Amino acid sequence: MHIKFNSMAAGIMLAAGAVACNNDKITSLNDNPNNPVTAPPGPVFTQAVRTSAARFVGNGFSLRQTEFVAQHWAEVQYPDEDRYARLGPADVQGTFNAAYYTEIEDLKKVIVTGLGGFGNNGVKNPAIYGPASILQTWDYEYLTDTWGDIPYSQSLTGDSVAPNFKPAYDTQKNVYTGMLATLTRMARD
């Protein structure tokens, strides 16, 4: 009788467990409501505009370092920049690297949303992707004017599945050709 009761109790618990489990709800337990996976394009675009303007026309951007690298300027009293002695990775972090992983990447996400991706149900919205494409072109323009050859055609092509840690550098001529093609496409839309 004791074995029969245990078998029946185990069967009832197994049946109740199978009925109680909803696989859709189990995975949603891991979703953090305070850390959404996607964001509306408006605030993302606004943040990218603020970051771009601060980076390239704000107080922090002066062509001092890059003008010395290109030998547009020369120093007599403090010639370290002329000899490339004070231009290190930390010096280019804000004006080169950070532009890619902040505003240019944010603008790419806004463009994808405007072209119908990221839950936009395939509906294109030129009012979303147009301004983001133009601002992204503006960012690339500042980068290529400052640094010359930059990653352009392969920039931001990697993801977590297939990362691209070393995108090819495009010549400044090809960057300008690509930027003008983007702006021409925006004018037609």
Please give, one letter per residue, the 3-state secondary structure of 62-108.
Answer: CCHHHHHHCCCCCCCCCCCCCCCCCCCHHHHHHHHHHHHHHHHHHHH
For 152-188, b where at least 16 C-beta lie within 10 A, e where not — what string? beebbeeeeeeeeeebebbeeeebbebbeeeeeebee
Q: Put residue 23 in one of left, alpha, beta given phi > 0 → left and psi -120 to 50 → alpha.
A: alpha
Q: What is the rounded distance in angstroms from the CA atom of residue 179 to the CA atom of residue 20?
A: 56
Q: Which helix or strand (DSSP H or E) is residue 170 part of?
A: strand 169-170
Amino acid residing at 136: Q
Q: Computed over its alpha carbons, how large is the radius of gyration of the chain?
A: 26
pTM of this structure:
0.72
- Neighbouring-strand partners of residue 150: 170
Q: Could you tell me how many helices (H) and strands (E) the chain has, helices first?
A: 9, 2
pLDDT by residue for the chain (189 residues), tens digit each? 566 667 777 677 776 666 666 666 666 777 777 877 778 899 999 999 999 988 888 765 666 666 666 677 777 777 776 676 766 677 677 778 889 999 999 999 999 998 887 666 778 888 899 999 999 999 999 899 888 899 999 998 887 788 888 999 999 999 999 999 999 988 887
